Structure 1
């Protein structure tokens, strides 16, 4: 009889705990409403799938004309691909946060199978005053991108140096006036800004 009572009390306690758990779940769900579309970022930089280079350039130019006065994230693309010094000459003191390297960089003309690789994006850490500068940070990032491409190609690699003409795009943070000034440089194909409320890491980037 005692064992039956103990088992009964155990079942009752289990039911109480389970019901309590369900109550907590319901309360938490009520107090934490589902995210609205405003909190889900769909921002992107660069052409969308199927968009021609000309159409993208026109869309980027329209966005640039309405670029905000406050600093925002923007994609600069280069045609033809630029060298490190050319990128730094264009951007000046503007912070570069990501570089996109031509996926064909380092491929030999006879290696058609290995030439077609996706462009390689690499994020840049902020330069450390007194330790390195913007050029150094960009050179390190491009070297890293080339190293990753080299890993994919294996022996099919020509030892391309980081100062190659292989930068197809960079993501920068600048205000509209600065972006419009940058866009006037020779070699800059497009300068596309995002809205000033865009958050780093919550938008897609495709240079071409």
Structure 2
């Protein structure tokens, strides 16, 4: 039976629950963007993946020593225990989770975490509490399966929001398992920007796949 104890940092997660749900809904129904905004981390709906990768690389240029918010997207989803090794030792602010199902659209959950690698690793257990409320039978089955897999510690980490200097972020971007690191300007304000990761299944263009596949039983 899954451990449903809430971690000590529940208050911080609850404060970010609204953000998590907005992000989750944004992945399922991403808004069409006409231009690039500095209050957003991640690719735009319909953007070519190659264009976003180039844009992310460009965001890492500069010589300042200021702290920057950045989105880290992976080549493949990670299990929670591998989060510290893919953060470059920087402050982790959010962990982004999404289970992958063939031809099924699943919600993205952003879990805000306090400082410390342990909280980031433990965040998978809390991600299940932040899943969006189902609106029909299909979404109820998707949410139930997502919750079960998240509590089991699945390889479902698709991104991190970190904070660090440009040099450290460039070093992180050079890791083999890191697909992209995109930064915001140093004056970006915490909690004032949207986050949409570059999902591993996005290969050519950033568009959601089909949603006509069967939902496995939990």
Relative to the length of structure 2, the TM-score reads 0.62
Larger Rg: 1
CA displacement 1:45-94 (0-9 Å, x = unmatched): 10112112221111101111237421111110012112223321122431
Tell me if structure 1 keeps the 8 A contact 2:81–2:121: no
Q: Between Structure 1 and Structure 2, how many residues are aligned?
A: 154
Taking the aligned partners of 1:57 and 1:42, their CA distance within structure 2 comes to 16
Tell me if structure 2 keeps the 8 A contact 1:72–1:175: yes
Residue 52 (structure 2) pairs with residue 52 (structure 1): no
Please identify which structure carries the higher helix content. 1
Measured after TM superposition, the shift of residue 181 of structure 1 is 0.8
Residue 77 (structure 2) pairs with residue 88 (structure 1): no
How has the CA–CA distance of structure 1 residues 183 and 162 changed in structure 2, closer, same or farther, with 3 Å as cutoff? Answer: farther
Taking the aligned partners of 1:71 and 1:126, their CA distance within structure 2 comes to 15
Residue 134 (structure 2) pairs with residue 138 (structure 1): no
> Which runs of structure 1 show a deviation greater than 6 angstroms over 4 or more consecutive aligned residues?
none
1:164 to 130, 145, 154: 154
Taking the aligned partners of 2:63 and 2:154, their CA distance within structure 1 comes to 31
1:182 to 172, 177, 186: 172
| DSSP 3-state at the match of 2:55 | helix
What stretches of structure 1 of length at least 5 have no aligned partner?
1-40, 128-133
How has the CA–CA distance of structure 1 residues 163 and 68 changed in structure 2, closer, same or farther, with 3 Å as cutoff? Answer: farther
Tell me if structure 1 keeps the 8 A contact 2:68–2:183: yes
What stretches of structure 2 of length at least 5 have no aligned partner?
1-36, 199-218
